[in-house]
Amino acid sequence: MRLEELGEFGLIARIAEAVGAGHESVVVGIGDDAAVIEPAGAGHLLVTTDACLEGQHFRRQWLTAQQIGWRATAAALSDIAAMGGEALAVFVSAGLPPAEEATFAEQLICGIHEAATEHGAALAGGDTCASPDRIYLDIVVVGQAERPWLRSTAQLDDVLLVTNTLGEAAAALHLLEGGLVENADGLPPALRHRFARPTPQFAVARCLQQLSQPLCAIDISDGLVQDAAHVAEASAVALTIQASRLPVAEACREVAVQGDVDPLQWALTGGEEYELLLAVPRGLVEQACALVEAEGVKLTEIGFVAAGTGVTVLDADGNEIELDRGGWDHFASH
Amino acid sequence: MRLEELGEFGLIARIAEAVGAGHESVVVGIGDDAAVIEPAGAGHLLVTTDACLEGQHFRRQWLTAQQIGWRATAAALSDIAAMGGEALAVFVSAGLPPAEEATFAEQLICGIHEAATEHGAALAGGDTCASPDRIYLDIVVVGQAERPWLRSTAQLDDVLLVTNTLGEAAAALHLLEGGLVENADGLPPALRHRFARPTPQFAVARCLQQLSQPLCAIDISDGLVQDAAHVAEASAVALTIQASRLPVAEACREVAVQGDVDPLQWALTGGEEYELLLAVPRGLVEQACALVEAEGVKLTEIGFVAAGTGVTVLDADGNEIELDRGGWDHFASH
């Protein structure tokens, strides 16, 4: 059955049925003019929106409908994790071609719902409309944090830490764009999961909220160097990244060797990693590492905060590294 | 300057500068991973998203960039008014063609910002990305209400009331689609304001929150009969609309006469009215009318709630009226 046969309200009814009751914080979910939320506790409320456009953020030949939904939702959830928060409710505005199979739309919503519930949030509402040619999604997440982590609080001599490993998303993109694999399911396992089913770092947020003070954090969605530049600007400091310390993923190195590419460039500029970059006072680093290690997450020291402006990347000898490109700008020609 | 020259972060910087400080409830606005909101008071939180796609919801030859922004935002704000709420923060995800003039994007955001602040909300964040051909907007509004008005609480013998007048949006669309006027600025004054700069009914929400109990409400965005059907379904009751009582706008009647169209059909099925349909216990009707009249808003009794299902439209003689179409379904072919 096509969407134009099922109709807008038929689709919404199916979504509401699949989603069910949801979350204790969601008093009224799908089906009214707005959702009604009653956050537990006395935390600050967090709201983020993340747009995701076919051809721009994903290609349908690379990902299943369910993977597209999960990935778009994980990207939005990641912003809440980067604020040191927890997710309460997810909303989706979806533009879908009327001639599309209804099952495709349902699988897409299924991926969104799965990513939401896997990370403690309800799918609580949204909007649907007809898009003549391409799919677009806007994922909204409402969350809360007792002490939000901002980009603007990096202090002189803070240590820069990054979660887990880097470079997988760029390596996966290299294989897909070069036609070396047909779709995400054809990627090596270590890259497949990272590309098709990325994990927002809520475990890290939860652990490190136990520290004596809120951290400075950003998620790596535009590329490490560019996201570091956002922190430098917001905090009015300089960030120095020591490239030799970067936790470049083994799977990324392997693909880079085969493609005769420098894996460091991928780790420095690759977008859609969804790891966290943290600026942590030196006195808290040991405790921070121990806390997240208990959750199976590795924190790696990759640099420091200094006086000045901007981001400097140094090699093992302390010489500055020039980058091919800074990161991702949606309006620029790449 | 084109957007591809200004760049994504250039545009965001300009928006942040234009928007300024904002609202007491918004602790952190534009420029971090998520906005941080601290709602005053003990109300329930409301969240709505409203998608708006070029060619589907608006045509650029009919509206200025600023009008497009206002209209999309008013549509989303209207959902919060229909919950009996007040707006706190507005977010916008915008897909924009990179070759577009930066001033167009700024005017668009200006219209969004104006609609937000005019109704007490801050523009607190969002996302931007490149859309190859058409503009899409997703407007998210976070609001609050002490006692939210739901669709599901209509009771037997409640009186159906509608705010102000109906039919202006459909009449405006008739003139624009027929090429009888070139754009919204060419519309007769009474229709121009309604089409290009619709008003979410926050004054009504504020007044009627003073009643002894929360009401049942929906905003008329898909068409009166279709929105009434949503109430009937959610409340498990039947709604009867007495067509002869409908407050059909004088400007709508004039256009209908000239076009040899029945203005009642427009009032019954025209979308994007953004008036409220309320189901009010008979004992509260007089007080409700007096409260909103003090704000310059008219409430008209247009029918009643009965046992059963669905919506029935009766003429002055009590005979059932057949409708050309029920209302708006985004996936259906119109």
When scoring B26, B49, B235 by the number of chain A Cβ atoms within 10 A, the one with the most, hence best to mutate, is B49
**Band of pLDDT at residue A329, cut at 50, 70 and 90:** low
Stated as kind and residue range, the H or E segment containing A55 is none
Alpha helices in B180-304, H assignment, sequence order: 189-196, 202-208, 224-235, 250-259, 263-269, 282-293
Instruction: Please state, in angstroms and rounded to a whole number, the distance separating the CA atoms of residues B312 and B90.
Output: 37
Alpha helices in B94-215, H assignment, sequence order: 102-118, 168-177, 189-196, 202-208
Indicate yes or no: CB of A45 within 8 angstroms of CB of B47.
Answer: no
What is the average pLDDT across A244-258?
96
Which parts of chain B have pLDDT scores under 50? 334
Indicate yes or no: CB of B79 within 8 angstroms of CB of A33.
Answer: yes
Most confident option among A24-28, A97-101, A167-171: A167-171
CB of A129 less than 8 A from some CB of B = yes
pLDDT of residue B329: 64
Looking at residue A310, the DSSP 8-state letter turns out to be S
CB of A219 less than 8 A from some CB of B = yes
Q: Can you name the residues that pair with A234 across neighbouring β-strands? A: none
The better pLDDT of the pair A230, A132 is held by A230
Instruction: Please state, in angstroms and rounded to a whole number, the distance separating the CA atoms of residues B133 and A32.
Output: 32
Q: Measure A231 CA to nearest chain B CA, in Å.
A: 9
Nearest Cβ partner for A56 among B51, B129, B330 = B129
Q: Is A269's pLDDT higher than 60?
A: yes
CATH topology of domain A3-145: 60s Ribosomal Protein L30; Chain: A; (3.30.1330)
pLDDT of residue B302: 98
pLDDT of residue A27: 77
What is the average pLDDT across A16-26?
74
Indicate yes or no: CB of B33 within 8 angstroms of CB of A129.
Answer: no
How crowded is the C-beta side of A319, counted as CA atoms within 13 Å?
Answer: 4
Q: Is A334's pLDDT higher than 70?
A: no
In chain B, the N- to C-terminal Cα span, in Å, equals 38
**Tokens representing residue B181 in the block:** 């006027």
Instruction: Please state, in angstroms and rounded to a whole number, the distance separating the CA atoms of residues A215 and A152.
Output: 10
**Tokens representing residue B174 in the block:** 């008739």
**pLDDT tens digit sequence for B47-89:** 999 999 998 888 999 999 999 999 999 999 999 999 999 999 9
CATH number of A159-314: 3.90.650.10
Question: How many residues are listed for chain A in this entry?
Answer: 334
Instruction: Please state, in angstroms and rounded to a whole number, the distance separating the CA atoms of residues B80 and B143.
Output: 6
Instruction: Please state, in angstroms and rounded to a whole number, the distance separating the CA atoms of residues A273 and A166.
Output: 7
Domain boundaries, chain A: 3-145, 159-314
**Average pLDDT score over chain A:** 91
Indicate yes or no: CB of B8 within 8 angstroms of CB of A35.
Answer: no
Q: Is A326's pLDDT higher than 60?
A: no
Instruction: Please state, in angstroms and rounded to a whole number, the distance separating the CA atoms of residues B305 and B227.
Output: 14
pLDDT of residue A57: 86
CATH architecture of B151-314: Alpha-Beta Complex (3.90)
A97-133: b (≥16 Cβ within 10 Å) or e: bbebebebbbbbbbbbbbbbbbbebbbbbbbbbbbee
pLDDT of residue A31: 76
Residue B329 phi/psi, 5-degree rounding, is -125, 120
The pTM score is 0.92
What is the average pLDDT across A317-323?
88
Burial class (CB within 10 angstroms; exposed 0-12, middle 13-18, buried 19+) of A225: buried
**Tokens representing residue A67 in the block:** 């993977």
Instruction: Please state, in angstroms and rounded to a whole number, the distance separating the CA atoms of residues B98 and B104.
Output: 11
Phi-psi region of B300 (alpha: psi -120 to 50; beta: other; left: phi over 0): beta
Indicate yes or no: CB of B49 within 8 angstroms of CB of A93.
Answer: yes
Burial class (CB within 10 angstroms; exposed 0-12, middle 13-18, buried 19+) of A289: middle
When scoring B79, B138, B139, B226 by the number of chain A Cβ atoms within 10 A, the one with the most, hence best to mutate, is B138
What is the average pLDDT across A142-170?
95
pLDDT of residue A83: 95
CB of A122 less than 8 A from some CB of B = no
